[in-house]
Structure 1
Amino acid sequence: MAAAPKVTCLSVPGVNVITNLNLSVTSGSAPYNQTALRIPPYSPEATALFAMAITLMMILTIVGNILVIIAVLTSRSLHGPQNLFLVSLAAADILVATLIIPFSLANELQGYWAFRSLWCEIYLALDVLFCTSSIAHLCAISLDRYLSISQPVSYGIQRTPANIKVAIVVVWLLSAIISFPPLLSLDKSKGGVEVCELNNERWYILYSTIGSFFVPCLIMIGVYIRIYQIAKQHTRCLPREKPNPNKTPGNKRFTFVLAVVIGVFVICWFPFFFSYSLKAIFPETCLVPAPLFTFFFWIGYCNSCLNPVIYTIFNQDFRKAFKKILSILWSLFELASQLATNQNIV
């Protein structure tokens, strides 16, 4: 999620406003002219550790989510149409790791926005888009689970790959609608200082936090409460009842895995959105320390690398698919190494 504007009660990472520096926008090849000494926000040691930790997180996010996509597309046991949601969610996490986190990291370590104004606008919109799309995917997955359990026959007929793909397109379109306002409400201060931040007005903060996080969270919680109630009713059914494919242990495990994914997402992002919303509700009295808010900010991004880990721990089909993919890659690596060795000998 794109960082919030700088406020009196907290200093926001990601796209900070450096109001004590003289920065001037130019139309030449360099976006800014430096007229004052910039002091890095961290020591060299802390900068190196921070950079290594976030770089490792980016690598894990990219590799893990690529494995998820390959597994769903190649493993027969994962060919269910509902898993297309996981492919799209993994793609969103990969985009976060490649298009958002590197620039957030550079901005965090340098203490100022060192890139062009146009990229600032694109960066902010994409950041909100990818975060919103992640939780929108989780909402869609929750509703898919609920319908498959509550209406197994009628929904099972409609639950085709084509319809799931349409639902994914709708998810991305709704996410784009929510993330579009940053392009129209960027706060650019006057006097030659280039500011890359979201609108700090109350309406936008409440709009973004409620639309991108709190409302979807309430929907998912309500849906999973209903799923739990239905599952409880099923356990009371007579043993003579015909078995339903949506009540099998495999489906129950998959529902549990998705519940874990949603729970981890909420745990990772709730501190940031809650702290961010405090600025709008209590602008004069919110007292979130800057280091704590920075921690909340980056914990949210860490969520992008956790889903593949959750699938590996809790889902046997994903474990088997990952092992198969990695074994094939290792065999190809050994073959390439052997060919290279033979060429050197010749």
Structure 2
Amino acid sequence: MNATGPYHPAGGLWLGLVIVAIILAIVAGNTLVIVAITRTPQLQTTTNIFITSLAFADLIVGGLVVPLAATFVVTGNWQLNKLACELWTSLDVLCVTASIETLCAVAVDRYVAITQPLRHHVVLSKRRARLAVCAVWAVAALISFVPIMNRYYRVRDRADREAWACYGNATCCDFITNSSYAVVSSVVSFYIPLGVMIFVYARVLLIASRQQQAIKRERLRFQKNKGRHSGDGCNGDRSHCEAPSVLGQASECGPAWLTAMREQRALTTVGIIMGSFTLFWLPFFVANVANVCGRRASYELFTALNWLGYANSGLNPIVYCRSPEFRTAFRTLLNRPPPCPRINHLYKGLQVHCPRLVNKVERGRAETSGALRWSWEGDPTAGPPKSNCSVRLDGVSEFQSQERKTSK
């Protein structure tokens, strides 16, 4: 077979160029995520310990697994020896298993954050999160390196000519497994973590939905109380009206409202990451288990499904850009300051929807330092002059610090 051509059809140069673009996107994106979390104190949270683990697994995929897979796909032959083939296969299974189990840990982390928000940092501290990450990688190593390097995955029946032809040919690196290993590895590496992840995340969404409804009811009740007091000595300026409220629970933009906004955004981001991972890897694991039924997928189909999973490693950094904290950290690392118009839009939105909180921040800043002086005419909720971007940046940073204090 070597004398007549490559073991598998060669992909060609154009496919190689596409793969190079995929490799660059995976490596650059996940390196940026890891550096951003490492160098930004605000991003060094318990959840982001798991995100760092996930980015590290994706970085290994982009830096080691995909380049070697590319040589196999482009040339049609495995260019190294059989030992290197088994090491590469073990690394591939290791990263996929670590990724799905890390996402399972993220789902549990979000569940604790929603159900026990005040004890979240105690129940799931950073130390315990790091231990959980170590456990995830240990389990992934046991399901990948141990059976593959000892060749427990190989088909024992020599009547399977396709499998034994590949085992005996140095230019073939197809991962043809026996039924036992296909079932056990798929269940441990994918299906059990996926089931736990779906169950926990469904519970998280249900609880978060109930909390959102409770906060909305409290906001409506607060606004009704505020309306009753609107004519008592305000003279049209509501910034001086201090309507009674239970601000930890019911105010317009109190700690409960701010925490709910952050949790909702975090849940949406985590949901997208989990959904995309499931969508990209589920076809591969379905095909892997289908081998047990004697319906072995063709080389072309199996390779296409495997590369669909590889593409997911470059998608996660794009999903993280939904987070304002990650966007700010990325811009800082790339020496691109945040655009002033978006800051203006944020501040004006706060003026419209949360006037009491913004006015409280402004009065506190003026009383302590005397540095903040707004001067505008007409409606007091119209905001500062458009030309004074630096002052508005100070106002927003003050609001963000206020938000962090209230969340603590």
Give your verdict on TM over 0.5: yes
Is the Cα contact below 8 Å between 1:199 and 1:205 reproduced in 2?
no
Aligned-partner SS, 2:132: helix
The alignment status of 1:230 with 2:196, answered yes or no, reads no
Structure 2: which 5+ residue stretches go unaligned?
Answer: 155-162, 219-245, 250-254, 338-408
Q: Could you tell me the percent identity over the aligned residues?
A: 30
What is the deviation of 1:270?
0.9
Q: In the aligned structure 1, how far is the partner of 2:274 from the partner of 2:86?
A: 29
From 217, 227, 250, give the equivalent of 2:194.
217
Is the Cα contact below 8 Å between 1:271 and 1:296 reproduced in 2?
yes
Change over 3 Å in CA distance of 1:246–1:143 after alignment to 2: farther
Q: In the aligned structure 2, how far is the partner of 1:216 from the partner of 1:268?
A: 15
CA distances 1:134-165 after superposition (whole Å, capped 9, x unpaired): 11110111111111111223332233322211
CA distances 1:237-279 after superposition (whole Å, capped 9, x unpaired): 3626735599421122012101100101111111111112111
Q: In the aligned structure 1, how far is the partner of 2:133 from the partner of 2:181?
A: 26
Q: In the aligned structure 1, how far is the partner of 2:258 from the partner of 2:103?
A: 19
Q: Please show how residues 49-68 of structure 1 align to structure 2 within 5 Å.
A: 49-68=14-33
From 300, 303, 326, give the equivalent of 2:312.
303
Aligned-partner SS, 2:169: coil
Change over 3 Å in CA distance of 1:327–1:279 after alignment to 2: same
Tell me the residue number matched to 1:322.
330
Is the Cα contact below 8 Å between 1:142 and 1:224 reproduced in 2?
yes
CA distances 1:317-344 after superposition (whole Å, capped 9, x unpaired): 1111111111179xxxxxxxxxxxxxxx
Aligned-partner SS, 1:207: helix
TM-score normalised by L of structure 2: 0.66
Tell me the residue number matched to 1:294.
303
Tell me the residue number matched to 1:156.
121
CA distances 1:198-234 after superposition (whole Å, capped 9, x unpaired): 4521111111211111111111110111001111221
Greater CA deviation, 192-201 or 57-66?
A: 192-201
Figure out how many residues of one structure are paired with residues of the other and give that number.
290
Change over 3 Å in CA distance of 1:289–1:39 after alignment to 2: closer
Tell me the residue number matched to 1:31.
none
Greater CA deviation, 75-84 or 89-98?
A: 75-84
The alignment status of 1:48 with 2:48, answered yes or no, reads no
Give the superposed CA RMSD. Answer: 2.5
Tell me the residue number matched to 1:108.
73
Q: In the aligned structure 2, how far is the partner of 1:118 from the partner of 1:38?
A: 23
The alignment status of 1:183 with 2:149, answered yes or no, reads yes
CA distances 1:33-75 after superposition (whole Å, capped 9, x unpaired): xxx13247556xx511111111111111111111101111222
What is the deviation of 1:110?
2.2
**What amino acid sits opposite 2:193 in the alignment?**
P
Q: Please show how residues 1-346 of structure 1 align to structure 2 within 5 Å.
A: 21=1, 36-39=3-6, 41-42=8-9, 47-179=12-144, 180-184=146-150, 185-187=152-154, 189=164, 193-194=169-170, 196-198=173-175, 200-237=177-214, 239=218, 242=249, 243-244=255-256, 247-280=259-292, 282-283=293-294, 286=295, 288=297, 290-312=299-321, 314-327=322-335
Tell me the residue number matched to 2:353.
none
Change over 3 Å in CA distance of 1:258–1:145 after alignment to 2: same
Change over 3 Å in CA distance of 1:91–1:272 after alignment to 2: same
Tell me the residue number matched to 2:356.
none
Structure 1: which 5+ residue stretches go unaligned?
Answer: 1-20, 23-35, 330-346
What is the deviation of 1:186?
4.9
Change over 3 Å in CA distance of 1:40–1:119 after alignment to 2: closer
Q: In the aligned structure 2, how far is the partner of 1:147 from the partner of 1:156?
A: 9
Is the Cα contact below 8 Å between 2:153 and 2:181 reproduced in 1?
no
Q: In the aligned structure 2, how far is the partner of 1:268 from the partner of 1:74?
A: 31
CA distances 1:151-199 after superposition (whole Å, capped 9, x unpaired): 2233322333222111111111111122121222253848953453445
**What amino acid sits opposite 2:136 in the alignment?**
V
Q: In the aligned structure 1, how far is the partner of 2:26 from the partner of 2:85?
A: 23
**What amino acid sits opposite 2:83 in the alignment?**
L
Q: In the aligned structure 2, how far is the partner of 1:275 from the partner of 1:192?
A: 24
TM-score normalised by L of structure 1: 0.77
Higher radius of gyration, 1 or 2: 2
Q: In the aligned structure 2, how far is the partner of 1:170 from the partner of 1:232?
A: 32
Q: In the aligned structure 1, how far is the partner of 2:62 from the partner of 2:148?
A: 20
Greater CA deviation, 118-127 or 184-193?
A: 184-193
**What amino acid sits opposite 1:146 in the alignment?**
Y
Change over 3 Å in CA distance of 1:289–1:217 after alignment to 2: same
Is the Cα contact below 8 Å between 2:100 and 2:190 reproduced in 1?
yes
